[in-house]
Structure formats: structure tokens, C-alpha cells
Amino acid sequence: MRRRRRLNAICAIAAIAAVPAVAGCGSSSTGSPTSPSNLNAAPTPAGAGQQRFSAAGIALHFSYPSALRPTPLAPSRRVAGSTSNSTHAAVGVGPYDLLIVSHFPNLGISVTAANIARLAPGIDQIFSQVAGRAMRGTIGTVGGLPALSFPPFAVQGLPVAATARVTNVFTGRNEYELQCQSTPAHRAIIAQACAQMLATVSTTP
């Protein structure tokens, strides 16, 4: 997996929504910023106060509480590097309290249960640079797909205190980064929604 593609993927996750971005993340040779493509989530009612997440071009679906609404993401002004093929969609209860799904297609290698352990140390190293501290992902599965889950970390550059938890889920050469970001005021509802998202992820709408 090419380091620049992985760095761009992780940095874009930390840099969208209301997040101004992690300084220096994913810098290209020119250093010129680009804006990640923003998708509109198109949920469907799932009964019992639940919604089912869907967005164009995103193969993952999951259930979440209907208190969360589709939330437009403000494109980052400081994401640099090649993010032209990535797409992002979110649901939340405010600009900083969100479940964010990002899709990074056409990875340099197909990530499987057989090779994710070999790739994980490199991903850990890059993620540590983004988080600003040593981070080590836990290898597992989400919805039967190979996944790498990271512990929560403080999001830098926001006007409010916020914490994020990121799980990378792979479908062949596609990477989906699932981010649960919350402020103290809404931490409980986002934590509940995050747990539900990870427990119900599927490639079936």
C-alpha cells in the first residue's frame, strides 16, 4: 500500500466536517490544498426509531438512531495531496458530533484477513503522526470484513474539545474509514450511535 495514499486517507478523515485539519497532513509535492468530495447521506427508515445509512458510491450500510440527521461536511481548507477520488458522508447531531464515513477507492493492494497483519504496522505509524501520539490499531472484523480499530484520540484544530474514534474497514481495494467524533455535550449519544454503527455494518442496504 503506497504511503502517500494511506496518509491522504487518514488525514482527510481528521480534516473534514468542521475540522480545519491536521497541519502538514498529506502534503503533496506542490502543497496546494484540495477539497474532499462531499456526499449527501440518504438514509432509509428502519423502524423503532432507527435509520439505515446509505450514500451514493459507498458500499457500507449500518443502522443508527434517528436523532442523528444527514449533516453536510464543510470541505477542509488544509487537506493537501490527492483526495480527488475520495468521498465522505456524515450523520450527526451538530457540526462536531458526527458519524463520518469516508471511501478511498483503488488502493495499491487488496486488503484481506490474510495480509492485514502485515500492513497494520505501517498504518499504525502513519496514524500516530496524524493523532500526535503513538497509536496501535486492533486487528479484527467489522461486518465480516477485515478491519483495524484505533483507540480514541483528541481532534486537533477545533474551536471546541472533541474526541474521535476511527475504524478502517476494507473491501478488497476499497478502504472505508468510519469515524465517530464527539464533544463532551453529546458524547453519550455519539458513543451509542458509534457502537450501533460498528455492530450493524453490512454491504447489504
Q: At what angle do helices 3-15 and 116-131 cross, to 10 degrees?
A: 50
Q: Is residue 91 part of a domain?
A: yes
80-92 pLDDT per residue, tens:
233 557 888 999 9
Tell me whether residue 67 is in a domain. Answer: yes
133 within a domain of the structure (yes/no): yes
What is the extent of the structural domain holding 127? 39-71+85-200
Number of domains in the chain: 1
Q: Is residue 30 part of a domain?
A: no
Q: How confident is the model at residue 62 (pLDDT cuts 50, 70, 90)?
A: very high
The H or E element that residue 189 is part of is helix 187-200
What is the bridge-based pairing of β-strands 69-70 and 87-94?
Answer: antiparallel
Cell numbers of 75, please? 470541505
The CATH number of the domain holding residue 185 is: 3.40.1000.10
Share of the chain above pLDDT 90, in %: 51
Domain assignment of residue 22, yes or no: no
pLDDT value at 13 more than 80: no
Q: 90: helix, coil or strand?
A: strand
Q: Whole-prediction pTM value?
A: 0.80
Tell me if 19 is assigned to some domain.
no
Residue 130 lies in a domain: yes
Average of per-residue pLDDT across 161-171 = 94
What whole-number distance in Å separates Cα of residue 83 and Cα of residue 88?
11
Identify which of 40-54, 60-74, 111-125, 136-150 has the greatest average pLDDT: 136-150
Q: pLDDT (tens digit, 9 = 90+) per residue, 68-126?
A: 999 887 654 333 233 557 888 999 999 899 999 989 898 889 999 999 999 999 889 88
